Chain A
Amino acid sequence: MRLTCPLCGDRDRREFYYYGAEDYLHRPVEGAPVADWDNYLHLRDNPAGVTKDLWYHEAGCSQWLLVTRNTVTHEISAVELVAERKA
């Protein structure tokens, strides 16, 4: 599997660290109810198909990436910079 980093180009999977589902981008605010934290940390849609998850380009540009990919075929359809997405 290879990921195309928006900054570094087409790179080997081993350059990246997988963190988890997109849910990690939606951190609850301080004082949020326990259910929100449970959703954020534990509960997952976990689709067999297209999903979005977070990868860190550890051996490259050190950017966090939001990757759209298929969990059944391993096909990657989009890679976005998390930093730009928030801006």
Chain B
Amino acid sequence: MRYSGLKVITEGLLGNKGWTPAWRDPAPKAEYDVVIIGGGGHGLSTAYYLAKNHGITNVAVLEKGYLGSGNIGRNTTIVRANYFLPGNSEFYSHSMKLWEGLEADLNYNVMHSQRGLINLFHSDGQRDAFVRRGNAMINQGDDAILLDRDGVREHLPYLDFDNTRFPIYGGLLHPRGGSARHDAVAWGYARGADKRGVDLIQNCEVTGIDIDGGVVRGVQTTRGAIRAKKVGIVVAGRSSQVAAMAGMRLPIESHVLQAFVTEGLKPVINHVISFGMGHFYISQSDKGGLVFGGDLDFYASYAARGNLPMVEHVMEAGMTLMPMIGRAKVLRSWGGIMDMSPDGSPIIDKTHVDGLFIDCGWNYGGFKAVPASGWCMAHLMATGESHEVAAKFRLDRFATGHLLDEEGTGSQHNLH
């Protein structure tokens, strides 16, 4: 079924009786050409682009819970392409272009809103770094505008500009940055993949990976064995566990990252604002809630909830930046499990097992990467070669020294 405004109107007039499920609920077949482990944003987009770009439709996506039950529904929905390093820059630029055509491509409203992202700076040195970053973005073909203090004030008059610890010197505006409806991204890709023949199999946990003579043969699951010619591991917060089934030890340490949303308010914050010095960023959802978050809790954790010290820190940072939000009531907080890599950049690569591929290490930047990650993982699995914009996301780069340390913070997993 094709969705359209006309369809909404006619269904409304006819009692909404004509809507059908957005995807099937098939039982697993005994064999597939490709099995994707993980039905989150990255896994679903991988399946979608395998079908759409490469014509590979005998594909199953295996999800241990329900589709989109992991980090795709537990993030702060920011979409941006403001990376600096060659290797990252072209990848996120590619992702941004896919975002801009995503709704038309999927025939699904993912509520992508290019409302502009502003990164604030608070010293001369930080300004220089942002000028350099902005030039890198422009060189990549994306957009960046350096705002001075008055320029920021025009956009964000409600900030505390005279804060004595972090006075606002200006900001780097990325007009094409913004946000999107996170769940809808998973649903849109799921629907698109299903329509092209991909089997989306829920409540199907992978318990083992069958390897014979260095070649992948399939997977063991709670719904029986499934043979496959190729298998992709796309499981974000559980990457280390699933990779261990294939005898791999990953350069990943899992950490919890918290986020918060307030009660719905009238429109007040029109941009995505990031206050790096306070580890705080905020936007307002279309429903009206202020969505904001901070930094990791900093210790390895698989608990999808955080601890109170970081809650306090985030609230303090928010009050420091924009005292006006002090009376908003926080409705909910939650934590997502981040697969942190030692350089803060992701991995899309082959493994030591023939036919087994892995897409992981998204740290806390996975949401904006969903389209390009699936695009490049599908390219790798279909052709056996890395896509040109993801060619540096190698699994062995830590051993070879080809790190992509965007923040320049060293090889400690929790410092990115």
Residues of A within 8 A of B (CB): 1, 12-14, 18-21, 34-35, 38-39, 41-48, 51, 53, 55, 71-74
Identify which of B141-149, B246-254, B284-292 touches chain A: B246-254
Which of B294-311 touch A at CB < 8 Å? 298-303, 307, 309
In the complex, chain A residues whose CB is within 8 Å of the CB of B139: none
Contact status of A1 and B240, CB under 8 A, knowing A51-B300, A71-B300, A72-B302: no
In the complex, chain A residues whose CB is within 8 Å of the CB of B252: 44, 46
B412 in contact with A19 (CB, 8 Å): yes
In the complex, chain B residues whose CB is within 8 Å of the CB of A18: 298-300, 414
A43 in contact with B302 (CB, 8 Å): no
In the complex, chain A residues whose CB is within 8 Å of the CB of B411: 41-42
A44 in contact with B309 (CB, 8 Å): no
A48 in contact with B241 (CB, 8 Å): yes
The smallest C-beta distance from A15 to any residue of chain B, in angstroms, reads 10
Give the CA-CA distance A38 to B253 in the complex, in Å: 14
- Of chain A, the residue at the smallest CB distance from B238 is A48
Tell yes or no: B413 within 8 A of A by CB: yes
The smallest C-beta distance from B281 to any residue of chain A, in angstroms, reads 22
**What is the interface residue range for chain B against chain A?**
20 to 34
In the complex, chain A residues whose CB is within 8 Å of the CB of B250: 43-44, 46
Closest CB pairs A-B (n = 10): A46-B240, A42-B251, A42-B398, A18-B299, A38-B399, A48-B302, A42-B342, A43-B249, A71-B302, A72-B302
A38-B399, A46-B252, A72-B303 given. 17 additional CB < 8 A pairs? A13-B309, A19-B412, A20-B300, A20-B412, A20-B413, A38-B251, A42-B342, A43-B251, A44-B240, A44-B252, A44-B413, A45-B240, A46-B240, A46-B253, A48-B238, A55-B299, A71-B300
26 contacts across the A-B interface (CB closer than 8 A): A1-B307, A13-B309, A18-B298, A21-B253, A21-B300, A34-B399, A35-B399, A38-B251, A38-B398, A41-B342, A41-B411, A42-B251, A42-B411, A43-B250, A43-B251, A44-B249, A44-B252, A45-B240, A45-B244, A46-B250, A46-B252, A47-B240, A53-B300, A71-B254, A72-B303, A74-B307
Residues of B within 8 A of A (CB): 238, 240-241, 244, 249-254, 298-303, 307, 309, 342, 398-399, 411-414
The smallest C-beta distance from B6 to any residue of chain A, in angstroms, reads 48
Give the CA-CA distance A41 to B410 in the complex, in Å: 10
The smallest C-beta distance from A65 to any residue of chain B, in angstroms, reads 12
Give the CA-CA distance A77 to B253 in the complex, in Å: 20
- Of chain A, the residue at the smallest CB distance from B248 is A43
In the complex, chain A residues whose CB is within 8 Å of the CB of B309: 12-14
In the complex, chain A residues whose CB is within 8 Å of the CB of B303: 71-74
In the complex, chain A residues whose CB is within 8 Å of the CB of B238: 48
In the complex, chain A residues whose CB is within 8 Å of the CB of B307: 1, 13, 74
A53 in contact with B299 (CB, 8 Å): yes
The smallest C-beta distance from A32 to any residue of chain B, in angstroms, reads 13
